[in-house]
Structure 1
Amino acid sequence: MSMDILEIARVQVLEEGRGLSADQALRCLELPDDRLSELLALAHEVRMKWCGPEVEVEGIISLKTGGCPEDCHFCSQSGQFTSPVRSVWLDIPSLVRSAVETAATGATEFCIVAAVRGPDQRLMDQVREGVKAIHQAVEINVACSLGMLTQGQVDELAEMGVHRYNHNLETARSHFGHVVTTHTWDERWQTCEMVRAAGMELCCGGIIGMGETREQRAEFAGQLGELGPDEVPLNFLNPRPGTPFESYPLVEGREALKTIATFRLALPRTILRYSGGRELTLGDMGTRDGMLGGINAIIIGNYLTTLGRDAESDLALLDELKMPIKALSKAL
């Protein structure tokens, strides 16, 4: 009889700080529901030991919305689908105002996002202007999510003072072709490796509930463990009208919580961030359970094309749980 996976994880992850492998992660995902509280408790212990009680708070803003040429099947910003999102550019004063409002909540991260395959020179110029204006107006770390990059663009973003770059792998390599056909998983991986090599922090996660199997969720956790990003945002699919995934069901709450805890055990030292879809998949009580099951970062307010959870509710929950908001790094 094989040793219980949570006993293995207690030694390997909690005591030694080594994340679960893909095979071990699958065993956690396959635990019966009556062991969910035990799994969540262990994940919380791991988070507290290797990350501490602080929670990193982030706001995001879309600099360029809609009209993306890629066919990511979950995304209403693709120009290939009939979803109602249309191309819009945000001006620099609006970008700065949003950054100031985000910082006022206590957030330390502000991420500028653009719906593109990769940035052209016009976008890079706007990002440069926006990053400079934000840093002049408010003390906050600026992150970017601008799609796939060239080496020159990576170097340029690092030189601008971009603190962290987000580029999600989205799902397991074996499932990626069912989600996107206009570029490859390996192209995304290459951008992630260049970002790390340039000295920026790497934010890389994905979306749960896009038709992947439990085995593929475990595969994804293992692949993220191999990549070693500084932050992993965990999204749960919010099916958007007009996209190929519009009729997909929401991830069931207990399954979502198992996934959160398992990813914490696979990534013991990583910032694990609540992102899109949690307000639908988990609701208020599930959101609380996830904060006590491995999550140590949140995006507050709205997401790019969907409404998020009320920022005041999230901040009140952190206060209730006595989880302090992470202070701004002085290395700006």
Structure 2
Amino acid sequence: MRAAATGAEILTAARRKVLEEGTGLAQEQVLDVLRLGDEHIPELLSLAHDVRMRWCGPEVEVEGIVSVKTGGCPEDCHFCSQSGRFPTPVRAAWLDIPGLVKAAEETAATGATEFCIVAAVRGPDARLMAQVRDGIKAIRESGNDIRIACSLGMLTQNQVDELVDMGVHRYNHNLETARSHFPNVVTTHTWEERWETLCMVREAGMEVCCGGIIGMGESLEQRAEFAVQLAELDPHEVPINFLIPQPGTPYESFDVVEGKDALRVVAAFRLAMPRTMLRFAGGRELTLGDLGAEQGMLGGVNAIIVGNYLTNLGRPAQEDLDMLSDLKMPIKALGDSL
């Protein structure tokens, strides 16, 4: 039985493998990083930032999101206030086409290059697909050339093909958590069903956006498991969310993730996926606060959602843009790739 590695040894090995060789950490190595003591966090964040700069570069992708169909979802994702199975304050509502066009214009005005259309559904029906198609058409006719992504739940092959035909270039479908923990989070569909949608999306030529939520009762071992499962999928983008306990959901009494633990997660995911776009998403304001957000941007993150989230307020977009300016992190221009 080998002696446990010291924090310095863990970071030295990670530096050699990830920074110098460009190879992501294996599951046990990710777990070692997640177990590092607080005194090693500054060095860990510095390493993750160096990895991001070497293998991804300095640019940051800025994205805005909008919900075209809110609430009333038939699934039982235990973290989600949009589930129709829980007594939450969220009620079903649809966004009309003019509202969608306006949201896209407001997103583009922030300097964002990505606009994601989201719906709270198991998967899209004919009405939703028509709404998305008409919305994209109206956005283009308004002269807005922002890139459009979608997050509409689980898809059939025909629906994947339809989205490609609409010009959707990226599809978001989060695995949410490690495969071993997923049945504790969702019971109305499986982790494998989500994986199948992601494989179809990739094969159709759309970029794959897939991440999850930290703080849903998973163990450190399961966080490490999740990181390497995402690495195996090799998505273009990984959004990292931190649980915001929602009233009426089974997770309403869960504790918020500690800031230092959140930073360890960000850095560990960067070291597991050195070339992947890593995006700050929901819950960062609650978990990290303003200073923590800057630390995360200097700890491996190279993409960010600005403005509000689906059912939770973010911070004003200009504050994030000012933060990027202060950190001398250029915003990726439309048409560039990370």
- Which of 167, 177, 184 pairs up with 1:178? 184
SS in structure 1 of the partner of residue 180 of structure 2:
helix
User: Structure 1, residues 37-73: CA drift from partner, whole Å, max 9, x if none?
Assistant: 0100000000000111100000000000000000000
Distance 1:217 1:133 in 2: 41
- Which of 15, 35, 39 pairs up with 2:40? 35
- Which of 205, 219, 225 pairs up with 1:199? 205
SS in structure 2 of the partner of residue 63 of structure 1:
strand
TM-score normalised by structure 1 residue count: 0.98
Aligned-residue identity in percent: 71
The answer for the alignment partner of 2:12 in structure 1 is: 7
- Which of 228, 233, 241 pairs up with 2:239? 233
Shift of 1:135: 2.1
Distance 2:254 2:4 in 1: 36
SS in structure 2 of the partner of residue 316 of structure 1:
helix
- Runs (4+) of structure 1 moved beyond 2 Å? none
SS in structure 2 of the partner of residue 174 of structure 1:
coil
Deviates more, 1:15-24 or 1:220-229: 15-24
- Which of 54, 59, 68 pairs up with 2:64? 59
RMSD: 1.0
The answer for the alignment partner of 2:329 in structure 1 is: 323
User: Structure 1, residues 97-128: CA drift from partner, whole Å, max 9, x if none?
Assistant: 11011001110000000000000011001111
SS in structure 2 of the partner of residue 282 of structure 1:
helix
Shift of 1:330: 6.9
Deviates more, 1:16-25 or 1:3-12: 3-12
Alignment of 1:86-101 (within 5 A): 86-101=91-106
Shift of 1:21: 1.2
In structure 1, the gaps of 5 or more residues are none
SS in structure 2 of the partner of residue 202 of structure 1:
strand
User: Structure 1, residues 277-298: CA drift from partner, whole Å, max 9, x if none?
Assistant: 0000000110010000000000
User: Structure 1, residues 234-265: CA drift from partner, whole Å, max 9, x if none?
Assistant: 00000000000000000000000000000000
Distance 2:336 2:298 in 1: 28
User: Structure 1, residues 191-250: CA drift from partner, whole Å, max 9, x if none?
Assistant: 001000000000000000000000000000000000000000000000000000000000
SS in structure 1 of the partner of residue 279 of structure 2:
strand
Distance 2:38 2:85 in 1: 40
- Which of 79, 83, 101 pairs up with 1:78? 83
1:269 paired with 2:301, answer: no
Distance 2:316 2:13 in 1: 38
User: Structure 1, residues 111-156: CA drift from partner, whole Å, max 9, x if none?
Assistant: 0000000000110011111111112220100000000000110111
TM-score normalised by structure 2 residue count: 0.97
In structure 2, the gaps of 5 or more residues are none
Distance 1:131 1:199 in 2: 19
Letter in structure 2 aligned against 1:83: T
The answer for the alignment partner of 1:141 in structure 2 is: 147
- Which of 16, 25, 31 pairs up with 2:21? 16
Letter in structure 2 aligned against 1:30: R
The answer for the alignment partner of 2:54 in structure 1 is: 49
1:119 paired with 2:124, answer: yes
Distance 1:115 1:32 in 2: 39
Distance 1:309 1:189 in 2: 32
Distance 2:193 2:10 in 1: 34
User: Structure 1, residues 282-328: CA drift from partner, whole Å, max 9, x if none?
Assistant: 00110010000000000000000000122111010000000000000
Alignment of 1:289-300 (within 5 A): 289-300=295-306
Letter in structure 2 aligned against 1:285: L
- CA distance change for structure 1 residues 310 and 13 in 2, over 3 Å: closer, same or farther? same
Distance 2:134 2:46 in 1: 45
1:26 paired with 2:34, answer: no
- CA distance change for structure 1 residues 219 and 302 in 2, over 3 Å: closer, same or farther? same
SS in structure 2 of the partner of residue 62 of structure 1:
strand
User: Structure 1, residues 161-186: CA drift from partner, whole Å, max 9, x if none?
Assistant: 00100000000000000100000000
Letter in structure 2 aligned against 1:127: V
